Amino acid sequence: MHKGIVWRSYRERTVLRLFLAIALLVASRAVPAKLTASQNPTNATTPQQNEDVTDNQPKTGNTNSGEFHLSRERYQKAVAYSRAGYTLYFVSVAWGIVVLLLLLKTRIVARWRDFVAGKSSNWFVQGLLFVPVLSVSLGMAQLPVRLYWHRLSLQYQQSVQGWRSWMWDWTKGELINVAFGLVAALILFAVIRNAPKTWWLYFWFVSIPLVLFLVLITPLVIDPMFHKFVPLQQTNPRLVSSIEKLTERAGEPIPRERMFLMQASEKTNQINAYVTGIGASKRVVVWDNTIHKMARDEVLFIVGHEMGHYVLGHVVTGIAFALAGILFALSAGYHALQWALKHWGQAWGVPGQADWAALPVLFLIVSVLGFLGEPIGNGFSRRIEHAADVYGLEVIPGIVPNAQQTAAHSFQVMGERDLADPNPPRIITLWLYSHPPLADRLKFAHDYDPWDQGKSPKYVK
């Protein structure tokens, strides 16, 4: 339920990274936390504290006007922090493309290909040597941007994560990227060698189980590598009982064992919750910061929003959308690769698509396609996030008094805490925002009242 922009690192630097980025975005609503999260362990809330804060007292100013408002100081910080994030995103993308072009034009990649070819004539062994070095090199090239973003997050008190902890998280992330990237690259080149003209289609078929596997294991294996999760029932049973009332009204019970508390306060000051996983790994996750910094009814609205994702099948829908995008990207990537090798392959020392030195060319193409595809993916995401807002507003009346005001106030709290841009530029919203701008969400929540207009609710009858 994050407020809007998804500021991703340059993750499109491996073949698998394109749909890893999409699948992770679909599977986890906390993508921004992986970049901006950084919190102080001393801010972590205990189970007793969580129970104490589930009252109905507002944590900040009222929103009777239906307008998102910030103090002058907070406004200036929100604008500066948000605009720095926009700038760093575009710098990250541009720098990643420049690095790939330099590696190709200077023939560094070709020389490394020659080196590994001298070690073994087996293409599989060559890949085992070539891909990790390339992935790590590109990750190191992006490290200065990531370091600067973390420094800004600390400066603006969005992060409290120490540098040692942050570096360890970054290292784990890179190791995961290398592992997945290596598997994907080996599969890709096996397909290229056996089906040189239709590899893009066959690799898409392979990507389907890979994406599903990733979405399945992310909550069970990957997420716990970065944060601690505990059953929500253990930390806040009264909140779970309130959530069960919501699930009963929705007619879509979510088992208690599928509700988790993420101890985000060890790394971040931000507020969030999300739905993730498929099948046995499907769950609703609420950050401890959300429970600690919001009134109980506001937390219930946020949970209602996440239930909307759960009930409306947005994870499955998102995966289907992502797979359609992957198919298009692979098809376009195949044709772009042939064109690029025809024009610059000799200059770069890349004789053909089955050569390991062609991998950075694919990275370059995927990077451009990923960048150009941002407005499409984020537009889709904004649509389902708005639907989840509607669902949350429809499921809480009768359980939460003053539902519209409560929902609007939850956005006010989130915007103040997370330094939401009060008025993001239109082009930035279209290109980068995975959620509608917070001010728009607040106004919609304040004004949404189909019952008063004699209309039927859209989702919760």
Do residues 404 and 445 make contact, with C-beta atoms less than 8 angstroms apart? Answer: yes
Measure the CA–CA gap between 411 and 407, rounded to whole angstroms.
7
Between helix 359-395 and helix 314-348 the angle, nearest 10°, is: 160
Closest CA to 42 of 265, 278, 245, 218: 265
**pLDDT at position 60, please?**
55
Closest CA to 108 of 118, 100, 120, 119: 100
CA atoms within 13 A on the CB side of 339: 8
Do residues 258 and 219 make contact, with C-beta atoms less than 8 angstroms apart? Answer: no
Largest CA distance in the chain: 76
Name the burial class of residue 332, with classes exposed (0-12), middle (13-18) and buried (19+) by CB atoms within 10 angstroms of its CB.
middle
**pLDDT at position 250, please?**
78
User: How far is the CA of 357 from the CAs of 62, 111, 125, 345, in angstroms?
Assistant: 59, 9, 14, 10
**pLDDT at position 68, please?**
94
3-state secondary structure of 32: coil
Measure the CA–CA gap between 286 and 229, rounded to whole angstroms.
10
pTM listed for this prediction: 0.85
Q: Which pair of tokens denotes residue 209? A: 């189980």
Helix (H) or strand (E) holding 121: none
**pLDDT at position 2, please?**
52
* Phi, psi values for residue 8, rounded to 5°: -95, 150
Reading the chain (461 residues) residue by residue, the pLDDT tens digits are 655 544 333 333 333 344 444 333 333 332 333 323 233 322 333 333 334 344 544 445 556 678 999 999 999 999 999 999 999 999 999 999 999 999 999 999 999 999 999 999 999 999 999 999 999 999 999 999 999 999 999 999 999 999 999 999 999 999 998 998 899 999 999 999 999 999 999 999 999 998 888 888 989 999 999 999 999 999 999 999 888 888 888 777 788 898 999 999 999 999 998 888 888 888 889 999 999 999 999 999 999 999 899 889 998 898 899 899 889 999 999 999 999 999 999 999 999 999 999 999 999 998 899 899 999 999 999 999 999 999 999 999 989 989 999 999 999 999 999 999 999 999 999 999 999 999 999 999 999 999 888 888 899 87
Measure the CA–CA gap between 184 and 210, rounded to whole angstroms.
9
Quickly count: other Cβ atoms within 10 Å of residue 105's Cβ. 12
- Backbone Cα Rg of the chain: 23
What torsion do the CA atoms of 426, 144, 167, 42 make, to the nearest 10 degrees? -50
